Structures are given as C-alpha cells and as structure tokens.
Amino acid sequence: MRNIVPQVSTSDDRVSAHQVLAALANHLKRWDIDQLATPGKESADRRRYPVKVDSLGHAGRFVEAEGVQAIDASFTVNCPGHDVYGSVSTWVDRVGASLACGVNPHTKESWIQEAYQLTCGPLRN
C-alpha cells in the first residue's frame, strides 16, 4: 500500500495552496480544481471493510483494490522583483476493483495487475 498525501510547498508564504492548485488545474486542462485532492483535507487512505460480494454479485472472498492518479510537479513563477519556487503533490480519479485470487482479472490496467500480484501472487492465464 502506498499513502499519497496532498501537499503544496512554496518559497513564498504569500502564495496559497489554493492558488497553486488552481494554476495546476488550469495548466493541465484536464481536471477542475475541485477534482484535485486538497492538502490537509484529503488522503488517498480511507477505512476499508471486507468485500464479500463482487461488482457482479458473486459471493466469495475478495481483495479490494483502489487506485488514484498521482500528480507531482515542481514550478517556478516569475513575480516582479523575485521568483517563487515550489512543488505540489496531489491526486485525482479514485478508482476501485474487487479481485478474487485464482481468477485472472483479464485487464490491461497496470494498477489492477499490480494489486492482484501483490495480494495473490503471479497472474496465471
């Protein structure tokens, strides 16, 4: 398991985390600021409960896998009289899957394959 903690650091305290995330969202043009995980408010971790039924309704013992798309960036902003440097770590797109050991998930999604291998061992055809 990896824990991704949203954080923003800058060389100038007058630049807020909100300003940095807004600029990042604008630069990426793929997500709005409200889709990015906010420092101090969100973590990719959450309480987990045993999965007893998969998404198709099959009963059994399952492994629950979750993933996010991590974003790590460094930046420089040219301000009048000085430059501001910083970095940002955030995440978007929480996704999940229920996996049964011994049942190949038949997917090209690398995060699902990795979750299966970490929990159940090598994939078999």
Q: Mind listing the pLDDT tens digit for each residue in 62-77?
A: 777 777 888 999 999 8
pLDDT at 109: 85
pLDDT at 13: 87
* β-bridge partners, 87: 9, 74
Phi, psi of 27, deg, nearest 5: -65, -40
pLDDT at 28: 87
Mark the ranges of the chain whose per-residue pLDDT is less than 70.
Answer: 1-2, 41-61, 125
- Residue pair 94/66 in contact (Cβ under 8 Å)? The answer is yes
- Residue pair 8/88 in contact (Cβ under 8 Å)? The answer is yes
Token pair recorded at residue 94:
């929480």
Token pair recorded at residue 122:
């090598």
DSSP readout, 27-56?
HH-SS-GGGSPPTTT--S--------B-TT
User: For the chain, what is the radius of gyration of the CA atoms?
Assistant: 19
pLDDT at 9: 93
